[in-house]
């Protein structure tokens, strides 16, 4: 799978069970009620499908969707 | 204090359909859900494909039955839990208990499962052993735990009372219903959601079951000559049990009574059944229910269609009922829905109670002729009945026997 904003948002939606439309760029993981296991699942799927390895310690609950997409794109 | 335990809701999913209405329509019409299952190997090894008779759940239809339910908090859901949720929601909604205050503190959930989430474990192990990948999905453990169906039901329905899974292989959900009945009798809870769930039609489970040497290569033919063995099914069934006083106070519709439960261990062999242990469990259930063995009953046999189960069960039935046996009617519904392992007892209990209330015994399918060792008063075609008592037998590998007695309300 090619690394793209659409692919990253698709993975977050699938792993968190949220509607993709709910993933506003300025919303934080906390605001979206994406819990720690969903975050771990998202990081696993990002690594598995996009080949991008993210250190979970680099993410905090205040990160926005936009921050996360930017982080994945930078590391790709 | 009156602690009679009544039935106020049923739900089920299996190869026969999603929901009791579809299930009953299929089984009463003599339809079988057993078909040829063919899944090609995920790798280049042809030996890893699944090919043989089975009765599987339409997963898409099962998900559709839960449309409108907020499942997000439940995380990843193995088919093991999906089946339980569909059956549980049907049972609780049918009982008129959805959102009822009793669900909060005075309700137990007791589910029976023979194994955990096989699909989830297969996917994880396939990554490790076939694809040489180092990691598995972080929700592998929570979604495949054998207790996950109970947790998922509690989360969706807001149940904060005692909640757990009982595992006794093919008798799991009979033990679940029976032990839940005792929780109500003892006053620990007013309501119990009791049943079973199983989702074992996966490659790993399939190969393991076939290795035991008890699987038929054609179909399930309980108590028949030339029977070849059992056929795997999958699915779930949930029963709402309630103290009579609680059900009456809220004006619930009473579907019948769980009147008795007998359990016994053979303590003899890990796979071969023992007639003495089976007989002990059947007699214990009758004693518990205060139902005499000569009262005409619908006997929902364990009837797996294996070489060893059927004559052992028939011998025990003959020993218990003796000359009264012709008054009874025996059914063997695994011939229609396959063997749901941990879920099978609950499904058979629900079908049996439905048969009593409709006055019709579903036919035993696949019967080729009488095996003298298995001679029972079988319903070989759709059979009108006027019995008010159901005896539902379940026996498991490892010699774990559990028998339930249901009764139509007066």
Report chain B's mean pLDDT, rounded to a whole number: 96
Statement to judge: residues B281 and B236 lie in one domain: no
Q: Which domain holds residue B263?
A: 259-407
Find, in chain A, the residue whose alpha carbon is nearest to that of B135. A44
Partner-chain contact B135 A40, CB within 8 Å? no
Q: Where is average pLDDT lowest: A22-31, B42-51, B101-110, B282-291? A: B42-51
Of B256, B290, B323, the last residue of a domain is B256
- What's the total number of domains in chain B? 2
In this structure, the answer to whether residues B305 and B397 fall within a common structural domain is: yes
Interface with B, mutate which of A17, A18, A36, A51 (most B CBs under 10 A): A17
User: Is the model's pLDDT at A6 over the cut of 80?
Assistant: yes
Mean pLDDT along residues A27-52: 95
Distance between CA atoms of residues B88 and B112, nearest Å: 13
Look at A44 and B137 and tell me if their CB atoms are within 8 Å: yes
Give the model confidence (pLDDT) of B40-52 as tens digits: 876 667 677 899 9
Letter string b/e over residues B112-139, b meaning 16 or more CB atoms within 10 A of that residue's CB: bbbbbbbbbbbbbebbeeeeeeeebbbb
Q: What is the ipTM of this complex?
A: 0.93
Choosing from B201, B227, B256, the residue where a domain stops is B256
pLDDT digits (tens, 9 = 90+) for B198-221: 999 999 999 999 999 999 999 999
Asked if the C-beta of B135 comes within 8 angstroms of chain A's C-beta atoms, the answer is yes
DSSP B26: H
As a whole number, mean pLDDT of residues A4-11 equals 97
Q: What is the pLDDT of residues B54-112, one digit of tens each?
A: 999 999 999 999 999 999 999 999 999 999 999 999 999 999 999 999 999 999 999 99
Please list every residue in chain A whose beta carbon sits closer than 8 Å to the beta carbon of residue B133. 48
Q: Which residues contact A30 (CB under 8 A, 6 or more apart)?
A: A61, A62
Write down the pLDDT at residue B19.
Answer: 98
The CATH number given to whatever domain includes residue B345 is 3.40.47.10
Among the candidates B256, B271, B286, a domain finishes at: B256
Name residue, tokens 């996360």.
A68
d(CA B53, CA B193): 31
B374 shares a domain with B251: no
Asked if B138 and A47 come within 8 Å (Cβ–Cβ), the reply is no
In this structure, are B232 and B294 located in the same domain? no
Tokens at B293, concatenated:
């063995």
The pLDDT confidence band at residue B2, using thresholds 50, 70 and 90, is low
Residues B323 and B384 in one domain: yes
- Single out the residue of B139, B83, B74 nearest to residue B112, CA to CA: B83
Distance CA B386, CA B52 (A): 38
Residue with tokens 């043989």: B52
Cβ neighbours of B142 in A, within 8 Å: 37
CATH number for the domain harbouring residue A71: 1.10.1200.10
Nearest to A44 among B72, B75, B138 (CB): B138
Mark whether B132 and B187 lie in a shared domain: yes
Q: In terms of residues, how long is chain A?
A: 76
Q: Which of A54-63, B238-247, B381-390 has the lowest average pLDDT?
A: A54-63
**CA dihedral sign of residues B320, B296, B372, B309:** negative
A67 shares contact with chain B (CB less than 8 Å):
no
Do B358 and B396 have their domain in common?
A: yes
Give the pLDDT band (50/70/90) at residue A11.
Answer: very high
**Residue B153: both structure tokens together:** 């039901």
Residue B275 and residue B247 in one domain: no
Q: Are residue B95 and residue B143 in the same domain, yes or no?
A: yes
The partner residue sitting opposite A17, judged by closest CB among B72, B133, B135, is: B72
**d(C-alpha B342, C-alpha B333), whole Å:** 15
Looking at the structure, do residues B285 and B392 belong to the same domain, yes or no? yes
**Burial of B61 per CB tally in 10 Å (0-12, 13-18, 19+):** middle
CB contact under 8 A, A37 and B75: yes
User: Any chain A CB within 8 A of the CB of B72?
Assistant: yes
Answer yes or no: do B249 and B300 share one domain. Answer: no
Whether residue B1 has pLDDT greater than 60: no
Cα distances (Å, whole numbers) of residue B310 to B260, B285, B370: 23, 20, 12
Q: Looking at the structure, tell me whether residues B229 and B279 fall in a common domain.
A: no
Q: Give the residue numbers spanning the domain of A55.
A: 5-75
Percentage of residues of chain B with pLDDT beyond 70: 98
Nearest Cα to Cα of residue B351 among B368, B371, B336, B369:
B336
Q: How many domains does chain A have?
A: 1
For the cut 90, the answer to whether the pLDDT of residue B134 exceeds it is yes
């Amino acid at each position: 799978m090619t690394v793209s904003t659409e692919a990253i948002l698709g993975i977050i939606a699938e792993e968190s069970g949220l509607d993709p439309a709910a993933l506003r760029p300025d919303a934080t993981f906390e605001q979206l009620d994406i819990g720690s296991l969903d975050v771990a699942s998202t990081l696993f799927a990002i690594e598995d499908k996009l080949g991008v390895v993210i250190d979970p310690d680099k993410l905090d609950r205040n990160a926005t969707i936009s921050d996360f997409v930017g982080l994945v794109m930078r590391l790709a | 204090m009156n602690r009679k335990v009544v039935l106020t809701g049923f739900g089920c999913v299996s190869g026969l359909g999603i929901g009791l209405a579809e299930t009953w329509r299929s089984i009463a019409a003599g339809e079988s859900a057993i078909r040829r299952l063919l899944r090609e190997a995920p790798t280049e090894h042809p030996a890893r494909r699944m090919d043989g008779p089975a009765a599987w759940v339409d997963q898409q239809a099962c998900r559709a039955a839960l449309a409108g339910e907020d499942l997000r908090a439940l995380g990843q859901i193995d088919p093991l839990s999906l089946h339980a949720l569909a059956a549980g929601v049907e049972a609780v909604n049918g009982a008129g208990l959805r959102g009822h205050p009793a669900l909060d503190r005075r309700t137990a959930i007791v589910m029976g499962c023979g194994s955990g989430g096989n699909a989830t474990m297969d996917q994880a192990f396939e990554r490790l052993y076939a694809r040489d990948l180092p990691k598995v999905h972080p929700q592998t453990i929570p979604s495949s735990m054998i207790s996950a169906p109970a947790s998922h039901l509690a989360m969706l329905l807001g149940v904060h009372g005692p909640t757990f899974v009982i595992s006794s292989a093919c008798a799991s959900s009979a033990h679940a219903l029976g032990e839940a009945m005792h929780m109500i009798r003892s006053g620990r809870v007013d309501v119990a959601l009791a049943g079973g769930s199983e989702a074992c039609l996966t490659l790993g489970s399939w190969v393991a079951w076939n290795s035991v040497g008890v699987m038929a290569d054609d179909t399930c033919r309980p108590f028949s000559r030339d029977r070849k063995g059992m056929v795997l099914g999958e699915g779930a069934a949930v029963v709402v049990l309630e103290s009579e006083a609680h059900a009456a106070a809220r004006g619930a519709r009473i579907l019948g009574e769980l009147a008795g439960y007998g359990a016994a261990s053979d303590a003899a062999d890990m796979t071969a059944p023992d007639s003495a242990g089976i007989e002990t469990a059947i007699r214990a259930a009758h004693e518990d229910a205060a139902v005499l063995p000569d009262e005409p009953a619908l006997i929902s046999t364990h009837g797996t269609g294996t070489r060893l189960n059927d004559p052992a069960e028939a011998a025990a039935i003959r020993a218990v009922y003796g000359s009264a046996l012709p008054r009874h009617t025996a059914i063997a519904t695994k011939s229609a829905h396959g063997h749901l392992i941990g879920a099978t007892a609950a499904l058979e209990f629900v079908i049996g109670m439905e048969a009593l209330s409709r006055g019709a015994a579903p036919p035993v399918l696949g019967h080729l002729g009488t095996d003298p060792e298995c001679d029972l008063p079988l319903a070989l075609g759709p059979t009108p009945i006027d019995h008010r008592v159901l005896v539902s037998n379940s026996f498991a590998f490892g010699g774990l026997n559990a028998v339930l007695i249901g009764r139509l309300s007066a």
